[in-house]
Structure 1
């Protein structure tokens, strides 16, 4: 591994260079396995000798797939890793090819100005679990390929169709727009329409008045205990389960 390669991988921690190279970085066995499972465009895979000794089948699978594979020193992996404890394997992936959002898809998740990487990754993971495989992000959301989002997503990225910088108006004529709001109707009594978009806002600011003004429905989760609010990642998972 050359110094130039190390510097290029390190640069992928910043959104500017992810866009410039159209690449993002993944770390750990689970993420690499997910990338392989979904046929992601993997540019290079890097692993340590100790990882190979513990996971010979995975390394053999990568070799048989004809992917670029390079054994590196632990200290080299530490240089390119975005975590304090590298997991022994990492890879550079190309951005998936994404066209315009397909409004013919019946079920969408729309995230409005969600800026916390952990929350976004958690929502992606829940979306994959509950079958919300088409996701639109408003302007001012965190980059979906931010390393923290990718780690929190636990491989969900590779099975989702994620579209950034999308205005909610795109769906206004084709889908029922359902916003999550604490003043909304109890989701337990709500019946999902045939085509809908579930809209979740950030914890800090929720949904703007402009967004609220074009919603068709608002739904909420009934509180049966105490507390001020739910984390958007938790609330989103509950709502997706109810609407799935």
Structure 2
């Protein structure tokens, strides 16, 4: 197994570009996965990854050493693995994969989650993971959202991307106008409590950027304005937490109906 220790190594430079550049990921059609769980989830859905990359110390024993035993890998010094800056705490295992092709056309009759300008990779990954856990199967991301297939969003999503139909750079206003179900947005002005709001049929939730929230035109176009009652000492929730409350309340209603 070859050990790469030089930052001038051609393969290491290619990893560095994939880790840092969305343009490079789009150009090559490839991205990076971090960690055994994510690699296993990928291989369950799509088959073997293109290339496995292991940190030098990860071969000393434990989960990663057991996972790669008998498999062809590229060995990377721990210093180089850290310098990739892929995630804050590298697991010791990376994989290079070809990103799946575009999702099928949006379904105007199916539940959906719409993300409007959510820029934080951790939040986007959490929202994708929450949507998948709540049984949602399609997610639309507006321009300006963190890229769904970037390494940090993949790490936060923990495999959610592999079970969702994801539409990036989507025209959210156009989707809302054409949608044949109800659309709901979380806000404060003129909003109804989540636990009192009524809807029937498919539902599309709109969640907004961390600071500015959902754009005014999308709020105006939504069928339902929803607020989450907060009797405690804080006035707002992180977008990931708010989405979890809303999506699982909608799921609860389906289960008891």
Tell me the secondary structure at the aligned position of residue 182 of structure 1.
coil
Deviation of the 1:224 alpha carbon:
1.5
1:6 matches 2:12: yes
Q: 1:163 aligns with which of 157, 167, 179?
A: 167
What RMSD in Å do the two structures reach over aligned CA positions? 2.4
1:30-179 correspondence to structure 2 within 5 Å: 30-39=37-46, 42-48=49-55, 50-52=57-59, 53-55=61-63, 57-59=66-68, 63=71, 69-80=73-84, 82-83=86-87, 85-104=89-108, 106-168=110-172, 169-173=174-178, 174-179=180-185
| Unpaired stretches in structure 1, ≥5 consecutive residues | none
TM-score by length of 1: 0.87
| CA shift in 2, pair 1:128/1:40, >3 Å | farther
State whether residues 122 and 153 of structure 2, in contact with CA within 8 Å, keep that contact through their aligned partners in structure 1: yes
Deviation of the 1:77 alpha carbon:
3.3
Q: Which runs of 4+ in 1 moved over 3 A?
A: 48-53, 68-81
Deviation of the 1:72 alpha carbon:
4.2
1:148-170 deviation line (CA, Å, top 9, x unaligned): 22222222222222110111222
The number of residue pairs the alignment matches comes to: 239
Q: Which stretch of the first structure deviates more once superposed, 156-165 or 185-194?
A: 185-194
| Unpaired stretches in structure 2, ≥5 consecutive residues | 252-257
Write the distance in 1 (CA, Å) between the matches of 2:158 and 2:221.
33
